[in-house]
Amino acid sequence: MALHRAMEDLLRTVTEKAIMPRFRNLAEGEIEDKGGNDPVTVADRDSEHMLREGLEKIIPGLAFVGEEQVHVDPSALDGLTGDCWIVDPIDGTRNFAAGKPPFGILIAMASGGEAHTGWIYDCLSGRFCVAHSGKGAFIGSEKVTAIPTGETPPVAAISLIFMDDAQREAMKAHIMPHYRLTDIPYCAAEQYPRLALGTNDVSIFERTLAWDHAAGVLWLNEAGGKAARLDGSAYRVDEWNRKGLVGAASPAMWEDMVERLNALEA
């Protein structure tokens, strides 16, 4: 499909020109903290600038909602209600700034608050994940069907970062003992593929910003896994400040985790 070829070319070019030259090569003053241990680098900004220009050439006229743009101008979030691009210019900036993997680029197209097309690009390996609503999930041209790890207990990546103290303690006492815990990659561009490719079985996300999750949720669901809110409702990009999201390698694993989580609220 011409759109996907154009997107892959753009992501590869941005990676080669704006991102990789700075990997393990950031000068003093080229890393800043946006607050709350949320770093941004000169590469994030350069990448977002190039992506905005490139996306406008691919499909002109769509609203642009980029992570770094929103940090400067929160009113850009208004674009999430209409036809828009949603862009994380470097997902996993914490890793990138520390000179380690994983990190990638996340892009989604959305209309009326729902993502319908998404791309996940691994800057180091070139892995190119594509999803379109109702048409399946792909890595390159190969269709992907989500598979669990097959391990007992199931493998879970549970981030406690954005939870309050009570939530953390409840997770440790009532959720984590039922799973084999694995590392948190601090990178949605890595976490969502892990949930489909037999690496992880389930993951919990507390913060659900659109640029972190729009592409990954769509891709995992199209692969036959499940990502949704704890009440079973679909993830919407215009509910960017709503908390709580579970992704899993299968609907059954999603149900099991959500049942446990909802029991905490009972």
pLDDT at 238: 96
**Do 25 and 129 have their domain in common?**
yes
Q: Could you give the number of structural domains in the chain? A: 2
Give the Cα separation of 182 and 161 in Å (integer): 15
**Residue 21 falls in which region: left (phi positive, over 0), alpha (psi -120 to 50) or beta:** alpha
Residue carrying structure tokens 């909802």: 262
Same domain, 168 and 245: yes
Angle, vertex CA 83, rays to CA 78 and CA 86, nearest 5: 70
Residue 178 belongs to domain spanning: 155-265
Task: Identify whether residues 120 and 163 lie together within a single domain.
Answer: no
Report whether 56 belongs to an annotated binding site.
no
Two tokens, residue 169: 């303690």
Residues 112 and 6 in one domain: yes
User: Do residue 112 and residue 206 come from a single domain?
Assistant: no
Q: Chunked in runs of 10, what are the mean pLDDT values of the chain (266 residues)?
A: 94 98 93 83 97 98 97 96 98 96 98 98 98 97 97 95 87 94 96 98 95 98 98 95 95 97 82
Answering whether pTM is above 0.85, one says: yes
Do the annotations mark residue 212 as ligand-binding? yes
Residue where a domain terminates, one of 144, 166, 182: 144
Assigned token pair, 42: 């000169």
Q: 91 labelled as ligand-binding? A: yes
Q: Is 88 annotated as a binding residue?
A: yes
- Among residues 144, 170, 189, the one where a domain terminates is 144
**DSSP E strands, the chain:** 31-33, 39-41, 63-66, 84-91, 104-111, 114-122, 128-132, 136-139, 142-144, 155-158, 180-181, 202-205, 226-228, 245-248
Considering 88, 122, 144, which residue would you say is the last residue of a domain?
144
30: CATH: 3.30.540.10
Is residue 105 part of an annotated ligand binding site? no
